[in-house]
Structures are given as structure tokens and as C-alpha cells.
Structure 1
Amino acid sequence: MSANSFGARDVLVSGGASYVIHRLDRLDGAMRLPYGLKVLAENLLRHEDGHAVTADQIRALAAWDPAAEPATEVQFTPARVLMQDFTGVPCIVDLAAMREAMVALGGDPAAINPLRPVELVIDHSVIADYFARPDAFDRNVELEYQRNRERYQFLRWGQQAFDNLRVVPPKTGIVHQVNIEHLARVVFAEDGQAFPDTLVGTDSHTTMVNGLGVLGWGVGGIEAEAAMLGQPMSMLLPQVIGVRLTGELPDGATATDLVLTIAELLRSHGVVGTFVEFCGPSLAQVPLANRATIGNMSPEYGCTCAIFPIDAETLAYLRLTGRTDEQVALVEAYAKEQGLWHEPDHEPVYSHVLDLDLATVVPSIAGPKRPQDRIPLDRAPQAFRAAVRGYLPADPAPVGLDESGAESFPASDPIAVTGDRPGDRPRAVPSAAEPGRRPSSKMPVALDTGETVELDHGAVVIAAITSCTNTSNPQVMLGAGLLARNAAERGLRPKPWVKTSLAPGSKVVMDYFDRAGVLSALRELGFDLVGYGCTTCIGNSGPLPEPVSRAINAGDLAVCSVLSGNRNFEGRIHPETKLNYLASPPLVVAYALAGSMDVNLAQDPLGTGTDGKPVFLRDIWPDSGEIDRAVAASLDPQMYVRDYADVFTGDERWQSLPVPAGDTFAWDPASTYVRRPPFFENLPATPEPLRDIEGARVLVQLGDSVTTDHISPAGAIKRDAPAGAYLREHGISPREFNSYGSRRGNHEVMIRGTFANIRLRNLLAPATEGGITRHLPDGERMSIYAAAQRYAAEGVPLLVIAGKEYGSGSSRDWAAKGTALLGVRAVLAESYERIHRSNLIGMGVLPLQFPPGQNATTLGLSGEEVYAIHGLAGDGELPEWVRVIATPADGTSREFDADVRIDTPSEADYYRHGGILSYVLRRIAAH
């Protein structure tokens, strides 16, 4: 029960029922706040206990200064936790291990139990092995169960052993689409109270639910576990950026084009750590599905969330997706009573306001390796030719270049041309009149069909309609279906080297495809259903056809993928696609037909029709009116009611899995999927005092924009990688390796996979890619894992040095867990993405930041020095900065101060305890 210092407790009547609410208008200053901060204010009012949440915190929130830098700590208590299986399995593994540690500390193991609803959706495990065939879905599901049987049995045990944990089985959908279509409440009704639905999720794209007006964001699994166990989440009151929408989308522009435009706008402004909120006269005209697409890509902007207020469009979507009349009525009544309803003539106070005229949005793609690097569609070939130079041999002499183009791009600086230096805005590429010379290295491919074709740089070898970002949006999905119908009618087919796939985020998509009459055309073009899951977007694109793969490797070809996803980081999509582009589902189909990124879809033909005439994209692109009519005719609430009726039940295959009994898990020492983690071994009841770091070596030295995919890849495990060697030693053949993501329940695999991304560039080992470093001082080259093991044997602590935006991308707790298990005591970076910095603290790794304007280069750090970090030792408060002493071989030390990026008192507590889970475990055991 709240302390109710502000007299906010009151009663709301809706649909004949009465609910206790905590009124925002009783808190002076609350009604001027932006929408997201109002939700936070209600959360504090409801959880005020005088200890974790105090009246002073509430007053500070009500007095929020939009211009102030974040400095005020508050404690946010989410209503629920959302997980997917890649991140969810290690969370449940940790909880199982915590139960055993609780026994060792003399506590009750049953105390380790989720106190809030936890929903886990299995969506990350299915791989698109089979494609372009009617039985692809069934065969891929069969393989999924064969590969992941141990993991699924473990999750079924967790569902029985832990209260408040519900699991959505495979073959259902993608977590964020399932969330907006079914799980999200918008307003909770629980124990006679009504309050806003809020959540944290173990996937960075949890923010998709922001489109529904639900406040939530991605966190690492470490923080999520603490939230499950009742630990409020420490956060600083953020700045809030308003995005004022005007105008309307032109015909031919899609939600994907809009979200890529927003990504470019917000990244160029800089919104890391902020809340973003949408407002303006055109907000009401933005369909809910478009809002969800925009919210989904918050991590690509760098903000914590990107939220829309509740309005009539929210209610219409809730009705469409089969929510009850009572629930819709409660959402409306609560939102209007609490000032959470969008009022077009009222604009809250924001820290900054950015204007976006929707009429300026043009068809676009993004790539080749960052989602914020937007390219107008009519300039895609020129941008490709600029980018591909960075993936060709160091001296791509004129041999193999055709002479149809004009002047070439500057080969000396290919990266800068496409804006790949973090912090730089993408440079303009030459106009269509200056296309640049076209690189060429054609390789013959004898396909299994008996046909022989030529593969070249820029060939699109993967075209995937995938990811909840876009498959949740009926407009773009039916746009793709109608375009496929029109293409099939003209006799067009994808190029034979393109691996096509369709992986929607819920079964409803296939229902409305069928009703709209476009399913047969999609299948005719090779877009058969491969699974209900993330597939290509998470890196589960499956192998390329063997002849295509051989040609790529024989010719060292720079080939491409095109996907309707949200991430295109290096090494993520497929190890053989060097350039990866994000595009709307209709453009995915179009690029499958064109077969190359070196085609201007705005003016070049896609192919030749059965009538012998060229067919252009404009000839088959459906207009917005036709798409809207198809949406209206093909969707109805009963689809959602029917498809989600038994969402937690699963099919016979799921129900027949044997489930281990007991409140503690019976670990199988032979398992290569699920093993007891070492985090709580020999954990003392109280933490030891902090010590300074002495005699440290740099394990890896990295540049800018190193993502969590670089640090802890989710995709394929290479045969000769340390993780592959471990699996082979345990009798696992390479064909059964599965992926890093699926093996996150086994720390032995994950520690060997840390920094193992095939595109990682470690400056300590120049002219190499992948998980390679040099052991110092002898300089011997070896795998990063082997070097860490040798340093551990020598008693040498380790550091990581990095540039800007370290740890951007997915909320991947293993990027921090693996770092800690390798023996890394501190990371020294120019700047951090929010989630990874938090995860490092959650694993007891110290995040340090170079002083403003300084980095390894300006300080002359080669990474070969011996390092000491002074100022940590003792039991007192953590310092705001520490002294770093770097001593090279000649003995002339360099000294500088580094900021300690432990930003709140709660984070300081976590660090002192060696991590958040140890902190929570000790607190629970002490009570």
C-alpha cells in the first residue's frame, strides 16, 4: 500500500466496476509533464514506501526541469517482465542457480521466485534452413525441436517451478508482435487497482509496445532478473525529446521508409538515454501499426523509448486485435481521467522539439551495416558502389571493373563516404549523373536446377520478409503481397541465386494473406512460410545453397542481403553477406526480383514480362488506396481471438516434452545447452572491500560503434572457433552446433564466443578479423579466449579499450557476462549505449569513460601498455573519477583521469557486491 503522501489515492468507476487509482492531478506540476514522465509519476505515487520510493523522489519528478542534464535518481517498478528465449533461457538458468546459492547462504530457495508477471515467447530459435518449398515451415519446426529439445524441456520445468512465469511455445509468433497483439494490457486491472501497463524486456525492441502508449524498454537479462525478484529499477530522470509530426505520407512511402527517416533524424540529433515522444497535428493520422514500427526501432535511434500517447487510434487497435469491450472501456476511462489521453491542442513541455514533415518521406533503404544510414531508393546503386570498396581487396585495381560508369569514389576513404564513422552524419553519395565505376568479379554458378548463372559483387543472395518491426504492420505486409501478385501476373520471378523467405510475427498474418488472395503469389515467388520467428533478423537465415556459397567464397564476392528487419550489423545476418540492407517488405520482394543492389529500382526494369516487355517497379507497385482496401477487407477481430485463444498451450510436440520435477533443477553434466553458471560459486555472505586494479593488460582494443553483436554474437558458430572446438570435443558435429543464441544456457560456449564475431576488428591484432588478439608482452597471436585463459593463469587482470557508442545494439546480457568471465575488470570507452553500460555494472565490470574530447588515439595509447587504475580501494563512496596509469615497455608512464560511469547510488551498490544478482541474492538471504 502506498504511503499516499500526496493524497492521490482515489476511485475510478468503469463498466460498473470500481478501481483504486493514484491521481496525477493531486501532484502539483504533474499535468505539465510529457506523457512518459506522467506514467513514471503514477508509478512512484503507487509504490511510495518511504524507503525505495520516497516523497522527495516524487517531488523531484513533478519539478522536472526539461533543460537539466539527468541527475535525479528515481526507482521504477515495472508491472511485468517480457522475455524471448535467447535471453530468457539464461535468465531462468540464473534463477535456478540462485535457488541453489540461496540454500548455501542459509536461506529459503522458494524466495527466489518472480513477484510480477513474466511472459516468455519462444521466437528466436527457428532457423530458415528450408525455404521456397511448401513444407519449409514443417521441416524447419522439426529441426527446431531436434536442436532445442534440452532448452525447451528446461523452459517447461521453469514454467512449473516458478510462479508468475508463462511461456508462449514455438510456432506462435515473435515476442513483440505477440505483445502488442495480445499480451499488452495498456491499463492493468489487478487486486482492485487500475494502473498503467509498464514493463521491461530482455530484448531491446521491447519498445515496440510504446506504439500502444505502454511505457517499457529493453534491459539486460541481469536487470530483468532483479526486476522479477521485486527489485525496483534505478534510473535517472531523462530528458524528453518531442518529435512534432506534420503533413501526411505521400503515396508510395511506407512505414518502413518513415522509421528509417526517423532513425536518421534522431541519430543525427543525438538522443541516447532520452525518452522520445511523438506529438503534433498529424499524430492522430498515424496508424497504430506505424506507431509500433516506430517504437520498435528505438534502440536504433539510441533512445530509451519512443512513445505515443493513448488516443482513439489506440482504442481502435485494441478492438481490432480482439481485446474485450470492458478492457477497451477501462483504457479509455483511465487515460482520460489521468491526463494520459492525447489532446491535439495541448503540447507538453519537452527538452527539445524536432519537426518532421511526413510529406518529405521518400522510399528508402538503410545500410550496409547500420540502420541509421538511410539511402534514398533512387540513390541506392551509387551508395552501394561507394560502400562496396571497403569490402574489396585493399588495392582494387581497374581489373574487373566495367567502364560504363563515370568517375570512381575515393578508394582511400570508402568508410567516410557512407558515414560509417560513429558520430559523423552520412556523407552524400554522388548523384545519378556520377554513378562511379561498377566493381565486377563475375563467378559462374551451376545451380542444383541445372541452370548456370553468373554471380557478382552486389548480388542479393538473401531476401527475407522477417522481423516484428514490419510483419506486425498489415499495410506493408499486404503491400508486399499485392506487389507479389502483380509481379507474378506479369511473369516475373526472383533471380535463381536469391534465398527468399517469409517469417511473420504472428499467425494472423497468414490468415489475412489468405483472405486477401495473395498467398499463392507469394509462394509462387518463393516467399513460402519458413517459421513464426525472428529468423534472418537475428541471424537465423540458415545456409545459402551450396553452389552459391562456393561461388561467394571462391570469388571473395561482396554479396548482399535485403531484409525487412531492424538490425543489419556486420556479421549478424549471415557470415557470407558482407553488405546488408534494411527495406520495407514490398522492396524486399522487388530486390528479390532484381537480384542485385547495383540496380536502380526507381528507373531500371526488374525483369522482362511474359509479353517480352520490361517491367518496372512502378508498374507493379500497389497504390495506397488499394492497400487500404485490402487491409479493411482482410482483417477482423475474430482472427486475433482465434489465433491467440490457446497461446500458452502449445501443440502436441510441446506438450509431450518430458518435464523434470522439483523446485531445483537437476543439472545434466553432459548437457551442452544448459549448465549451472559459475556466478554464485563460493559467494560470501558479505562482499569484500573494493581494490584498485594493478598490472592489467588490454585484452582487446576496439574502435567506434562496437555492438553487442560484435561482443557476443547470436548467429552461427564456426567449426574452428573456440566455441566450435569445445562442442566438437563434446561430441557435437558442426551440423548440430546450432547458434550462439540458442546455447546461451551454457556459459562454456558463451565465454568462448565472447568477442568472436567474424567481423570484429581488434586493433591489437591489425590486419585480422574475428576473435583474435595478441598475448602481451610476448606478442603471440591467438584467440581472445585462449589469451584470456593464459592471462588468468598468470594472475593478470584485463581491460577493454573502445571508442564511441560501445555496446550499441541488442540488450544482450552475455556481452557483459562473457566479458566478466574472461577476466575483464574494467572497460574504458569514449561513450556507452545505455543497456550495455548497465549490464557491465550488473556483472561487476567497471565502466570507465575517457574525458571529453579524449580517446586512445589522442592519449597515444597503443593497448600494449601495463595499466593501473587507482581510486577504487576501500569501503567509502565510489569516486566520480579514477586515475589511470598506462606504462609502455620503455617505462615512461602516461597518466590521465577517467570518469566512473556508475551513475546512481543503486548502481554503486551493485558494483560493490560484484553484480546486481549477488546484491539481490544477499538481500533476500538476509531477510
Structure 2
Amino acid sequence: MASNTLNTLKDFKITDDKKGKFYSLPALEKQLGVKISRLPVSIRVVLESVLRNCDGKKVTEEHVKQLANWQPTAERVDEIPFVVARVVLQDFTGVPLLADLAAMRNVASKMGKNPKKIEPLVPVDLVVDHSVQIDHFREKKALDLNMKLEFSRNNERYQFMKWGMQAFDTFGVVPPGFGIVHQVNLEYLARGVHCNKKESVYYPDTLVGTDSHTTMINGIGVVGWGVGGIEAEAGMLGQPVYFLTPDVIGVNLTGKLREGCTATDLVLTITEMLRKEKVVGKFVEFFGEGTASLSLTDRATIANMAPEYGATMGFFPVDEATIDYFKGTGRKKSEIEAFEAYFKAQKMFGIPKKGQIDYTRELTLDLSTVTPSLAGPKRPQDRIEIGNVKSTFSDLFTKPTKENGFNKKAEDLCAEYKNSDGVSLKNGDVLIAAITSCTNTSNPNVLLAAGLLAKKAVEAGLKVAPHIKTSLAPGSRVVTKYLEDAGLLPYLEKLGFGVTAYGCTTCIGNAGDLTPAMNEAIVANDVVAAAVLSGNRNFEARIHPNIRANFLASPPLVVAYAIAGNVTVDLMSEPVGKGKGGKDVYLGQIWPSSEEINGLLKFAMSAKNFKENYADVKNAPGKLWEKVSSVSGQVYNWPDSTYIAEPPFFAEFGMQPAAAAAGISGARALGVFGDSITTDHISPAGSIKESSPAGKWLLERGVLKADFNSYGSRRGNHEIMMRGTFANVRIKNLMIPPKADGSAVEGGITIHQPSGEQMSIYDAAMRYIASGVPTMVFGGEEYGTGSSRDWAAKGTQLLGVKAVICRSFERIHRSNLVGMGVLPLQFIGDDSVQSLGITGNETFDLKGLDGEIKPQQKATLVIHRADGSKKEVQLLLRIDTPIEVDYYKHGGILPFVLRQLLAA
């Protein structure tokens, strides 16, 4: 707790007969004589944590004063030690995190220390949401069948989770079948405020999560964001989350949404706008009358997609709408009273108006200018107004790959192919239509709109072609209940949108496969097929390896495009389809009005339904979960498994770190990549190909192709994950010469030097490691965009990569690279792979890192070309903070934290 010099611990009134204590920011304002009340609300929440956790060691009075004196446009050099109230995990990132903790306990045991020294110091909740796939759909028992398959595939992982539940005191699991982590967090796990019962001290709910969309929780005034599992582990084990004091961009929302526009349309507009404004690594805080007019769930939708617009957070302050949401979702009366009273006592209650807060920069968006939109076909920030989808797709169809196109001939656009099942297939055909992802399934407005549109469509006689893979995978079981209560679920089911799972499914790449006949026809004819989903990510090969055009859309538009069957149907001027009697039916005829949607919202906010649903987490978690057996004990015994293996990161662990290398010499390029290389490109989550290094490894161990599962589900096994690094089927290594038509070769291959042999990136990396040759990876802008995927950094390290050099990094991946002891370096000015003529047949030296490494210092890259010439170029070291220097010296954040814990 806070040191006594800053005397800010005060009483506040909760109710007439109840008081609490809190670390008062108004009192700190008076004591320091600075205008804390003009700071962005998000900064004030972080400041409270720094104040409350001020112990004179990890968090000092100087840290408090630095943040209290936050200036909107100051140079960002101060490092904030942020102690969070809790941590949330999803299972894809949670399992390897648990494996690391288990491995740390093995180290402690071997060194004669008490394994219980390795214990989360804050509450940790793992929600199992990433494992279920859409194998069954359009059948009555699809949900049950998909869950049974999920449990049979993931039994070894779930056994490991159950071990973790009994081994660690503060580790809880929300079992499969309840929903998506961020929606469960919003509806159930989030507390508003916490109370240290020993001292009756109240403090705000804050967190980090091992998924980039943790930011959904910003919609209810909770400060939190996604970090890699590496950073989350440190936070769990008592290490503050360190970050540079951020810029805060204020977004003033004015006006109101037009009739027919949804929260999805709004968030796609915001994503496009903020990407252009380059808000990467900044806090975004929404204010103004338009913000106040938004429903809480609309705010959550916008907050959820902060990673897509690049921000650390998309924050909405607490106000009456937040309190109403807590009431409607069945939180306890005493919790709600404390929540409201606390934020009022801190003078942080209410949406700020223009002029009340000092932001780094202010942007304005008039809500009335938002139009119905989709985003795609490859990135969430590429918004397309609905009336332009047809022309945009047609234009991209013939554009070269380097211009984000599909490099096809114009005459092929209308070509028709038959697959071996007799199904006709055309370019632009919608083959997957999924109402999925917490981004939208947390929002009853858009789900009720989808249900109403389905009702009108069925009544008009419209249908969805049987070969289209349709699914409804809500982020919470409450969704099914209110769709049933509103009488809309049967209409969705008639169009193929029956409930198939409660999990991320299509949005995370778990769409399941298409039919063999469809896959064969797509590959044989190089068809550019489409998926339409209500998700937040549409990166290449994420949704399905054979579907190249992926569009994000609101749930009602997902249904509409499923009916239309092809993205070249202009829904603004052409019929959605033919209904009864062959009559043309247009979108305007079946689109629900806001009045119709509002009339059904009463079914969605039922406190009784929320209470009953989440009571089952502990009381009735499900027969399938109860049947999962597990071992007990404080130290894991690592049974033989292709899912879970003891990670190698502590293999040569000692209490003293090995000296960090002063530089790199004679390095080779393992890969040279372009712009927007995502963590999906670096470490795919989806299907494993038989011909890939990971597929071959599984086959050698007797695992059948049908049992491969996904990369995501096998993240507890480093043998799979290092083989899967840079193995995305759509990744383009610029070291490989282009095809005859000029298009780039796709897949995780490289050229080994000096042999000149073409081989998988994994095989080349192993050959370099065996011969003692260090490697580097080169990239362009926004390297590491996308999910907070720690294996993108872990895999990079295990492949022997010493440095990643690119034009710019996405926030989490840069941090993860440092956390794994890999150097992130950035080209300066206009320098790039292209301007420097880097082809991959050079050797490289890195100089200038001798002696004491300093944050953001300069380093020199020496490029030795094959013709004997050389060039020197300066780089910026993206080790950004002093604590990151320590992490790097220790070989990464995990050895650093383990040494601290074992020394205590």
C-alpha cells in the first residue's frame, strides 16, 4: 500500500450507513498543487494504481508525481509501473502461460526451493473460448456435437487446466460452453471496484489480458488492454506492467447514428479514421454528447476493436449507462452502490464534455455521417460503404498482389465452375457466413437486428443456399436466451444460423473446413471465394486457408449476404434474392427499424437471466467438464503428450544471467517481409497442413490428419509451435523470386545461404543453428499487427533469430520480442528493405550495443553484399524502457521474474 508521505487515504460515503476508504485523487490534487481533474480519465485510473501501490521500491513517490504532472504533448520518457487488479486469459494463450508457470515450479523444485513461491499474486481467470470449431452446422444437435468433438480433441489440455486449478490458489477457469472471454468479462467477471477487505480500501477494476481484444472492458470504464502471455505472467507474479507514459487522443463524438446504421458500421468507421491518424501505442478516450448517447454495448463494441485501430485502449468513462448495465446484468446491489459512490468520490463519474479535459490531440466524428459498411477483404481498417462492395471487389479482383489485389483476369470474374458435388461456384461466392465474435455478439442491438431481418426474410420466402457454411456462435449463453424469448431464434435457424457453439470460432480461424469437393474446386480453378463474418479480424488465411476475400460486417448484413450468396450483388440497388412467387426482395424491405429493435431490448437486459446463467460456472459447469480427469500436486509431472510439453525456456537456468551479446556478426536473413506482417502470419492459429514441418512432426508420432486440431490448440507444445513459426500459407517471403506472372510466392519458405537451397523456414533455421550462424528477420511497416500472440515472439526466439529489423512495430509484438530476448530494431527516416536493396543473400553485423544498453539508443547495421561491397546504416533500438533493458540482459522477462522470485 501507499507510503505515508502522500497522505491521501480518505473515507468516502457508499450509503447512509456504510463507508469505505480510498486513495483520493482530489486530495492528491490539493497536496501536489496540480490539475489532476483535467487529466484524461484513463490516466487518472492508472494514477490511482500508482498512488495506491507506492511502496518506495518498485513504485516510488517520483512515479506518482511524474504521472500526476502528465502533460498532453510532452516527450514520452517516463516509465509507469502499473499494478493491475487482476488478469484474464483465454485458453490458446492461457495454456502456454500455465506451462511456463509449471516449468518455473519445476526449476524451483530442482533448486530445493518451495514450488509455492511461484504463485499468482492477483486473481487470474481463464475462459475456455478458443478451442471449439464449427464442424457441425445446420443440424439440430450441432452445438452438442461440436462440444463433444472439442472435448475429445482437447482432453489433454483440459486435464492440464484442471491441474492448474488445484495447484494455484488464485487460478480459476470458466469451462467451455459459457462464451467468449471478453463478453464473459464484460457480463460477469468485471467488478467495477474491488475492496481490500482487510483494510476496507476500495480501488478500481483494472487488468491485462492475454488477448488483444481485452480492450472490450474499456466500454465500462475499466482500464485494461491486451498483452502477450509473457508480460501477463510477470504481472501475475508481482511485476508491475511497465509502459511509457502515453499520449491520449480524445475523440469527441457528436450527433446521433442515422436510421439503419449499426454499432458495427460505427466501429468500422472509427477503425478506418483512427488508423489514418496513427494512434498505435496511444490511449484513445471518447467524450462528448454523442458518446453519452451511445448504449453501453455500443461502447463495448467500439472499445473491443482498439487493436484494429492500433490503440492501446479505446476508453469510455463511467456514467449512468455503465451503472444501468451493471444492474441489467445482475451484479449485486452492494457492488453497484460501491462502484457508483467510488467514481463520484474520485470525481471521475460522467462522460466529459468538450473543454473539460486536456488531451494530446482532439478528433471529432459526427455520428450522423456514419453509413452502413463492411471492411475487407484482407484488413479490418479497409472500410467499404455497402454500395461500393461490388465495385471494390471487382477492382481488387484484377489488381496485382502488391496493391492488395487478387491478380486475376477480368474475364474470370463471371466464370462459373462446378465442383464434384454438382454445386456451382463463382468468384465472390459467399461460402462462409458467420455471426461470431464478442465484438458484435455482446451487442443485443445488432443481434436482435439480425433476428428481425431473418424473420422478415423467411416471411418473404428468402432462403440461404445449402452449400454456404452458416453459423451462430454467441459470446454468451444469455444471447440464446434472449433470442428465444424474443421469438427470433427459429427464423435464424431456418436460414441456417442455428447456435453451433459458444466461442470465438470463425473469428479466430476455427470456422472448420469446407467440403473436400469445394476445396478441390477452389484450388483447381484458383477461385476467389468470400467469407462474411461479424468478427474483428480478416487477415489472410485466418478464416480459412482457401478463402481469400474476407469481409467484416454487422450480424444483419451477414445474414443478408448469406441470402444474396455473392459479394458482387449490390445490396443497395439489386435484390437480395427472390422470394415467394419469384418476386424480387430488396434489403430495404427486410431491414428492421430502430423502433422494432428497441421494442425487443427488454428481453436482452434481464438481470435474472444473467444471474442464472453465470451461477452455473461453479455450480453446474457441465457433464463433459466434470468427466475430465487430472493429476494433483504442486509440481506437474509432464506426461507424454503432443499438446502439452515442458517448455525449453529454462533449460540452462542459473541464478546469474549469462552475459548478453555485445553485438551480432555474420548473421543471415531468415526472412525478408513486406508491410502489415501480422502475428497470424508469424504464428498461425488455424489448421495444420500435412506437408508443413508441424504436420510432418505429428504424422511421425502417429497422429492422424483428422486429429491435427489447430496450431492454436497446440500452443502448449513448443515442438509444434516452433515448426509453425512463419508457416502461414499466405505469408510472402521476398527472398523467394516471384512467379512467372510477377505474383509473389506464398508460404513459409526461404532460401538457405550460402547453399542457395529453397526450404521451409523451420528447416533453414535448424540448419543455421546447427552451424552456429545467427539470423535476422526483416520487415516493413506495422510488423506484428494483430493478436497478442506470445508464440509469435517465442517461436522467433526458438528459431534462433537474434534481431527483427523493420520500419515500425505493433505495440504488443515489440514488447513480446524484448520479453523473449530478441532485439527489435527500427529503420530510421526513409530507410527500408527496398531502399537499402536487401535481398537476403547478404551477411549482416550489428554494432553499437557494447557496454551499457540504453533505451532507444542507436545501433549500426553493417550490410555485407555478395559482391564484396558493404554499407552501414543506423537503426533505432526499440528497447523502449529501463525495465526492458533488464529483461533483455536476463535473456527475457521470464528468467528475470523467476530469479527475483527464487531470490526472495
Query: Normalising TM by the smaller chain, what interval?
Result: over 0.9
- Which residue, out of 885, 901, 904, partners 1:924? 901
Please, which runs of 5 or more residues in structure 1 have no aligned partner? 390-410, 421-435
* Aligned pair partner of 1:211 in 211, 216, 219: 219
Alignment partners' CA distance in 2, 1:220 and 1:353: 30
Letter of the 2:320 counterpart: A
Hey, what does 1:9 align to over in structure 2?
9
**Further displaced range: 787-796 or 629-638:** 629-638
| Pairwise CA distance, 1:438 | 7.3
Residues 254 and 600 (structure 1), Cα distance of their counterparts in 2 relative to 1, 3 Å cut: same
Residues 1:414 and 1:914: Cα distance change in structure 2 (over 3 Å)? closer
Matched, 1:483 2:453: yes
Match of 2:742 in 1: none
Alignment match, 1:372: 381
Q: Distance in 2 between matches of 1:628 and 1:545?
A: 40
SS at match of 1:644: helix
1:720-776 deviations in Å (ceiling 9; x for gaps): 100000000111000100000000000000000000000000011133211100100
The answer to whether residue 628 in structure 2 is matched with residue 657 in structure 1 is yes
Cα separation, partners in 2 of 1:801 and 1:876, compared to 1, 3 Å: closer
CA distance in 2 between partners of 1:665 and 1:816 (Å): 25
Residues 1:728 and 2:699 are matched in the alignment? yes
1:192-591, aligned counterparts within 5 Å? 192-342=200-350, 344-345=352-353, 347-389=356-398, 411=399, 415=403, 439-445=413-419, 447=421, 452-591=422-561
Check whether the contact 1:368–1:387 (CA below 8 A) recurs between aligned residues: no
Residue 689 of structure 1 deviates from its aligned partner by 2.0
1:840 counterpart residue number = 817
What's 1:764 paired with?
Answer: 735
Q: Does 1:672 align with 2:642?
A: yes
Q: Given that residues 143 and 501 in structure 2 are in contact (C-alpha distance below 8 angstroms), is that contact kept between their aligned partners in structure 1?
A: yes
The residue type paired with residue 113 of structure 1 is E
One-letter amino acid of the structure 2 residue matched with residue 718 of structure 1: K
Give yes or no for the alignment of 1:647 onto 2:617.
yes
Distance 2:552 2:272 in 1: 13
Q: Deviation per CA, 1:666-709, whole angstroms, max 9, x where unpaired?
A: 111x3000000100012121112222111111100000000000
Which range moves more in the overlay, 176-185 or 99-108? 99-108
CA distance in 2, matches of 1:652, 1:510: 20
Corresponding residue number in structure 1 for 2:118: 112
Letter in 1 for 2:151: Y
Distance in 1, matches of 2:158 and 2:713, equals 11
Question: Structure 2 CA distance, aligned partners of 1:290 and 1:580?
Answer: 23
Distance 1:646 1:3 in 2: 42
SS in 1 for 2:836: coil
SS in 2 for 1:368: coil
Residue deviations 1:631-657, cap 9 Å, x none? 124541111011011214511221121
Rounded Cα–Cα distance in structure 1 between residues aligned with 2:525 and 2:385: 29
Contact 1:4 1:45 in 2 (8 A): no
- The residue type paired with residue 445 of structure 1 is N
SS at match of 2:179: coil
- CA distance in structure 1 between the aligned counterparts of 2:54 and 2:356, rounded to whole angstroms: 28
Q: CA contact under 8 A between 1:689 and 1:873: conserved in structure 2?
A: no
**1:731/1:59 Cα in 2 relative to 1: closer, same or farther (>3 Å)?**
same
2:833 is paired with a residue whose SS is coil
Kindly report the root-mean-square deviation, in angstroms, between the aligned alpha carbons of the 2 structures: 1.6
**Change in 2 beyond 3 A, CA 1:343/1:889:** closer
SS at match of 1:695: strand
1:791 counterpart residue number: 768
> Contact between 1:212 and 1:292, CA under 8 Å: does it hold in 2?
yes
Q: Which moved more, 1:438-447 or 1:691-700?
A: 438-447
Following the alignment from structure 1 to structure 2, what is the Cα–Cα distance between the partners of residues 886 and 572?
Answer: 35
2:796 is the counterpart of 1:819: yes
Tell whether 2:894 aligns with 1:886.
no
Cα gap change, 1:186 to 1:895, in 2 (>3 Å): same
Shift of 1:876: 6.0
8 Å CA contact 1:494–1:525 kept in 2: the answer is yes
Q: Which amino acid counterpart does residue 25 of structure 1 have in structure 2?
A: P
Equivalent residue, structure 2, for 1:392: none
1:693 counterpart = 2:699: no
Q: CA deviation at 1:172?
A: 0.5
Q: Per the alignment, in what secondary structure is the counterpart of residue 646 of structure 1?
A: helix
Are 2:706 and 1:706 equivalent residues in the alignment? no
Which deviates the most, 601-610 or 114-123? 601-610
Shift of 1:266: 0.2
Distance in 1 of aligned mates of 2:211 and 2:351: 31
Where 1:699 maps in the other structure, the secondary structure is strand
Report how far residue 875 of structure 1 moved.
Answer: 5.4
Aligned residues of 1:698 and 1:798 also touching (Cα < 8 A): yes
Give, in whole Å, the separation in 2 of the partners of 1:873 and 1:355. Answer: 47
Instruction: State the match for 2:780 in structure 1.
Output: 803
The equivalent of 1:908 in structure 2 is 885
Please report how far the alpha carbon of residue 22 of structure 1 lies from its aligned counterpart in structure 2 after TM superposition.
0.3
Map Cα deviations across residues 48-74 of structure 1 (whole Å, 9 max, x no partner): 111211111111111111112321111
* More divergent stretch after superposition (452-461 vs 267-276): 452-461
- Are the counterparts in 1 of residues 316 and 351 from structure 2 also a CA contact under 8 Å? no
Change in Cα spacing, 1:180 to 1:827, as seen in structure 2 (3 Å) is same
Question: What amino acid is aligned across from residue 177 of structure 2 in structure 1?
Answer: K
- Is the counterpart of residue 753 in structure 1 residue 761 in structure 2? no
Which position in structure 2 is the counterpart of 1:743? 714
Query: Is the Cα contact below 8 Å between 1:380 and 1:597 reproduced in 2?
Result: yes
Match of 1:24 in 2: 25
Note the C-alpha offset of 1:416. 6.2
Q: Distance in 1 between matches of 2:541 and 2:405?
A: 21
Q: What is the count of residue pairs matched by the alignment?
A: 886
- Out of 503-512 and 649-658, give the one that drifted further: 649-658
Change (3 A) 1:624 1:107: same
Moved more, 751-760 or 97-106: 97-106
Q: Read off the aligned partner of 1:751 and give its amino acid letter.
A: M
1:68 aligns with 2:39: no
Q: Quote the residue 2:808 is aligned against.
A: 831
Q: For residue 290 of structure 1, give the secondary structure of its aligned residue in structure 2.
A: helix
Give the TM-score normalised by structure 1: 0.94
Deviation at 1:340, TM superposition (A): 1.2
Match of 2:741 in 1: none
Please state whether the residue corresponding to 1:816 is helix, strand or coil: helix
Residues in 1 aligned to 2:227 and 2:845: alpha-carbon distance in whole angstroms:
31
Bigger mean CA deviation after superposition, 306-315 or 325-334:
325-334
Counterpart for residue 423 of structure 1: none
Taking structure 1 as reference, are residues 326 and 854 closer, same or farther at Cα in structure 2, changes over 3 Å only?
Answer: same
Change beyond 3 A, Cα 1:342–1:417: farther
Task: Give me the whole-angstrom Cα distance separating, in 1, the residues matched to 2:630 and 2:860.
Answer: 53
The secondary structure found in structure 1 opposite 2:582 is coil
> Does 2:188 match 1:182?
yes
For 2:419, what is the secondary structure of its paired residue?
strand
| Contact 1:385-1:438 within 8 A present in 2 as well | no
Structure 1 residue identity aligned to 2:692: A
**SS of residue matched to 2:616:** coil
**Cα shift at 1:446:** 5.3
Bigger drift between 556-565 and 6-15 goes to 6-15
Mapped partners of 1:553, 1:141: distance in 2: 30
Q: What is the one-letter code of the residue matched to 1:176? A: H
User: SS in structure 1 opposite 2:650?
Assistant: coil
3-state SS, counterpart of residue 884 of structure 2: helix
* TM-superposed deviation, 1:827: 0.5
SS at match of 1:543: coil
How far apart are residue 163 of structure 1 and its match?
1.2
